[in-house]
Structure 1
Amino acid sequence: MTTHHIAQRVMVLYTGGTIGMQASANGLAPASGFEARMGEFLASQPQLQVPQWRFREMSPLIDSANMTPAYWLRLRAAIVEAIEQDGCDSVLVLHGTDTLAYSAAAMCFQLLGLPAPVVFTGSMLPAGVPDSDAWENISGALTALAQGQPHGVQLYFHGALLAPTRCAKVRSFGRNPFMALNRNGGAAKAETLPVALNYNQPRREACVGVLPLVPGINAAQLDAMLSSGIQALVLECFGSGTGPSDNPAFLASLQQAQKDGIVVVAITQCHEGGVELDVYEAGSRLRGAGVLSGGGMTREAVFGKLHALLGADLPLAEVRRLIELDLCSELA
């Protein structure tokens, strides 16, 4: 049974994003000073039942289009510090919406075993502008934490809590940009996790590429990606996991990637469903070339998962094994 933890001391980590942006000569830009604005708003809403909160401004503040895996490691460290050193029992991350689903999914894998709830939120319009969703998302997320949430990472937006490993940003407008995707589940749960994946173990940055298949894609394009220094490649396949199986050079490049120790994982380009590499010959040939099945994983989930597995310095065989097992509901 899942235990719900009622938040009493929340650390608010502000990374930037639209929620706190102010007008600049070149358009909206991340701005400091959001703690005072947030405090002023919450003080004006005495009816809200929100926990005590502290505020930490990450540096630098960024538009989330500039988010990187290196920043993820700093964010991970800040979340762990809030729980283990600052006396907080939960964390609220304020983040721009463009890459929020990526960051929240990545933190699911980066914070395995963290004994605290972590919630990500943001807004589509800056706080203070007409019809902004900023304050409703912040107050809603804080209220949700006060009511009790399970340990682990969730995404809060427009009155709903979503599992980050199962959702994506599907709209660039309106109050409801995120949606839970109907993806295939049913993968076996990893019975035990390597100690190296625990939230309090060291991590280093990894390098992961993503390549969507399109009609006529050739081995030269694949080779350019494989030779770019990546440790893993997410191959976004057609349908249930098909690709150009009648192209010997393309398959040979995938086989060479396996020999070179590059982990290649197939996911579907479709919004719903997932990869089943053994249904069509065009998929089974990818499997024969060493491509792993990403099942129903979203791009955000598999990208974050690969970063966590590779960044934990696990043996290659262990990375390949764990990719196809469920770690935190990404394949459930």
Structure 2
Amino acid sequence: MNSSTYPAARHVMVLYTGGTIGMQASAHGLAPSSGFDVRMREYLASQPDLVVPQWRFREMSPLIDSANMSPAYWQQLHEAVVDAIDTQGCDSVLILHGTDTLAYSAAAMGFQLLGLHARVVFTGSMLPAGVTDSDAWENLSGALVALGQGLAPGVHLYFHGELLDPTRCAKVRSFGRHPFKRLERQGGGVKATSLPTQLNYNQSKQLAKVAVLPLFPGIDAEQLEGVLNSGIQGLVLECYGSGTGPSDNPQFLAALTRARDNGVVVVAITQCHEGGVELDVYEAGSRLRGAGVLSGGGMTREAAFGKLHGLLGAGLDTAEVRRLVEIDLCGELI
């Protein structure tokens, strides 16, 4: 990414969701704390050589530990970003977010904000601002500097000097300054040449109900049906290797077929850290395809989960959702 080819951010909205970056000690341990804008302003004022764009601050409500993040909160974030860009006149948004579900939220926003010509950057920290060896201020100021130098339109994840595509990365460590990593996934679809109007960032989205189920040795139809019959509209099925599952279990395959016939969209991704799904390589994969399972190619869990929420929440018919699952919308499959 050559940032010099993109215009510099001039007016940044900072959306503070909570997370470790602004946490302070409480009777029950570290907890989200209000008033982070004051601390942020004091820090930036103490760094006269740091050149950052003009910014304003909005505290989301409620402030949360990112372990409590939900698709309903994503709707709030979506609305706040659209308000910042289309109403408040900002050209960029910086979202401060806890690290545990940061990759989920950033990937989801990639699909919620399709067509947005502004820049949205997610960052956070592994240690709270102000504690010894905290990474909070370096990540926050680094993200602001990156915006000031110019970034491509769309959603980015910034951490410890590195810009990552949120639909291609995951949190892989619970310690240190490098918790996020780009996953080496392969296998995907062609780039979308046009998008349905319903997917545009300025269209309201409904809440969807999506689940994730990893396969494991001995999983049976009853366990699968327990998830499929819970009212979900979409399922991310984490398969083995290149997309294999218990193909010698007719009840398991029948459950998947019924799910397809009932309009539940099932997408296969790989449990492997590298590679991707190719359902037709093995019989154990082609039988999943025959039962209506779609290929998630090289999508990460976070990307597949966010994509299903975006497609199903846009109110598209099932056939269109199924078509778009296997087409690249914002870098998740390319």
TM-score range, shorter-chain basis? over 0.9
Matched residue SS, 2:48: coil
The 5 A counterparts of 1:129-278 are 129-278=131-280
Corresponding residue number in structure 1 for 2:48:
46
User: Do residues 101 (structure 1) and 110 (structure 2) align?
Assistant: no
Which residue, out of 15, 19, 22, partners 1:20?
22
Q: Tell me which amino acid in the other structure corresponds to 1:147.
A: Q
The corresponding residue for 1:9 is 11
Distance 2:85 2:221 in 1: 47
Shift of residue 5 of structure 1?
A: 2.7
For residue 302 of structure 2, what is the aligned residue in structure 1?
A: 300
Could you report, residue by residue, the CA deviation over 1:121-172 in whole angstroms, capped at 9, with x for unpaired residues? 0000000000000000000000000000010000000100000000000000
Return the alpha-carbon distance in structure 2 between the equivalents of residues 36 and 202 of structure 1.
33
In the alignment, structure 1 residue 128 sits paired with structure 2 residue 130: yes
User: Given residue 313 of structure 2, which amino acid in structure 1 is its aligned partner?
Assistant: G
Query: Are the equivalent residues in 2 in contact too, given 1:207–1:231 (CA < 8 A)?
Result: yes
How many Å separate the matches in 2 of 1:203 and 1:261? 19
Deviations 1:1-35 (A, max 9, x none): 99613101100000000000000000000000100
How far apart are the structure 1 equivalents of 2:113 and 2:166?
A: 13
Equivalent runs, 1:81-96 vs 2, <5 Å: 81-96=83-98
Structure 2 residue aligned with 1:68, among 67, 70, 79? 70
CA offset at residue 186 of structure 1?
Answer: 4.5
Which runs of 4 or more aligned residues in structure 1 lie more than 6 Å from their structure 2 counterparts after TM superposition? none
Are 2:288 and 1:286 aligned? yes
Residues 1:329 and 2:331 aligned together: yes
CA RMSD after TM alignment: 1.0
* Structure 1: distance between partners of 2:320 and 2:179: 35
Query: 1:113 corresponds to which residue?
Result: 115
Distance 1:88 1:255 in 2: 47
SS in 2 for 1:211: strand
Separation in structure 2 between the aligned mates of residue 16 and residue 5 of structure 1, nearest angstrom:
29
Query: Which residues of structure 1 form unaligned runs of 5+?
Result: none
Identical counterparts, % of pairs: 76
What are the ranges of 5 or more consecutive residues in structure 2 without an aligned counterpart?
A: none
Alignment length (residue pairs): 332
TM-score (norm 2): 0.98
Shift of 1:191: 1.2
